[in-house]
């Protein structure tokens, strides 16, 4: 003989499991959203002692809103930071278990990302290692900037202390597909014709521009000036 349950018992049972179903669906949706191409990397573990002056990041220790592009897919409003000492892109997020996590993102799938009002691209060197460059471009003229920091030892009497340098630049200029590292204004001007070089020298001097020590605004202005040089 089959046992019959009152209808109200069945209703109560369904009501009791609805939150569980909802929670499971929520977790499943979140799991789908956590694309392995992005949420894939090692737990970030580089935390210098409090006695070290400065930090290892491009600008600040706080994470900021950013955008990541992976094979045409766009991931917006995610929390990023850039460790320029160790050349690592960092991602802060909440795990499925509700824990706050910071990982060093695998660069294997990432095409580019936007952070601190800068566009960064991922390129691979001759050893097939991923490298991070800021990219500033106008038509077929581009600046690629490799940001980095040094950890320096300071000694004063009996005190030994480490200090991070400010964020430094290695700058590369690409013209019509030919890319060259430019360390000085003089080396930069040599990439142009004699007449163009003279005009560049005057322009850069009057605007107090010094390669590898310029702001993004200055790099953009310089690219606009180069574009307008034409066949000068």
How far is Cα 139 from Cα 151, in angstroms, rounded to an integer?
37
What pLDDT is stored for residue 99 in this prediction? 87
How far is Cα 33 from Cα 77, in angstroms, rounded to an integer?
13
- Decide: residue 136, CB within 10 A, 0-12 exposed, 13-18 middle, 19+ buried: buried
**pLDDT digits 0-9 by tens, 118-169:** 999 999 988 989 999 999 999 889 999 999 999 999 887 777 889 999 999 9
The better pLDDT of the pair 88, 31 is held by 88
Q: Where are the domains of the chain?
A: 39-181, 185-232
On the question of pLDDT at 23 being above 90, the answer is: no
Mark residue 25 as left, alpha or beta (left: phi above 0; alpha: psi -120 to 50; beta: remaining).
alpha
What pLDDT is stored for residue 232 in this prediction? 53
> Which pTM was predicted?
0.82
Average pLDDT over residues 88-96: 92
- Decide: residue 200, CB within 10 A, 0-12 exposed, 13-18 middle, 19+ buried: buried
């Amino acid at each position: 003989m089959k046992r019959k349950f009152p209808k109200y018992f069945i209703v109560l049972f369904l009501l009791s499991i609805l939150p569980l179903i909802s929670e499971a669906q929520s977790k499943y949706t979140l799991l789908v959203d956590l694309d392995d191409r992005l949420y894939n990397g090692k737990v970030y573990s580089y935390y210098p002692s409090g006695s070290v002056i400065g930090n290892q990041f491009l600008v600040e220790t706080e994470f900021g809103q950013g955008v990541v592009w992976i094979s045409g897919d766009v991931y917006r409003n995610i929390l990023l930071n850039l460790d320029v000492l160790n050349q690592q892109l960092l991602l802060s997020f909440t795990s499925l278990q509700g824990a706050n996590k910071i990982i060093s993102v695998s660069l294997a799938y990432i095409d580019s990302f936007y952070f601190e009002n800068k566009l960064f691209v991922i390129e691979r060197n001759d050893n097939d290692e991923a490298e991070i460059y800021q990219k500033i471009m106008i038509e077929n003229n581009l600046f690629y900037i490799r940001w980095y920091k040094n950890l320096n030892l300071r000694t004063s009497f009996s005190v030994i202390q480490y200090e991070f340098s400010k964020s430094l630049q290695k700058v590369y200029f690409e013209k019509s597909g030919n890319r060259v590292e430019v360390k000085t204004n003089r080396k930069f001007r040599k990439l142009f014709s004699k007449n163009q070089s003279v005009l560049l020298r005057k322009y850069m001097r009057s605007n107090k521009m010094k390669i590898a020590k310029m702001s993004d605004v200055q790099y953009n202005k310089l690219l606009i000036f180069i574009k307008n040089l034409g066949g000068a």
